[in-house]
Amino acid sequence: MDEYEKELMRKNLEVSQESLKLLKKMHRARMVGGTLKVFKWMIIIGISLGSYYYVEPYLRPMIDAVGGITSGAERVQGVGEAANPNNPSPDFIEKLRGLLLR
pLDDT digits (tens, 9 = 90+) for 8-66: 999 999 999 999 999 999 999 999 999 999 999 999 999 999 998 898 888 888 888 87
Mean pLDDT of 77-93: 65
pLDDT, position 1:
74
Q: How far is CA 51 from CA 31, 62, 75, in A?
A: 30, 17, 35
Distances (CA, A) of 79 to 53, 73, 75, 85, 96: 39, 10, 6, 12, 19
**97-101 — which CB contacts under 8 Å span 24+ positions?**
none
Residue 81 pLDDT level (bands cut at 50, 70, 90): low
The pLDDT value given to residue 102: 58
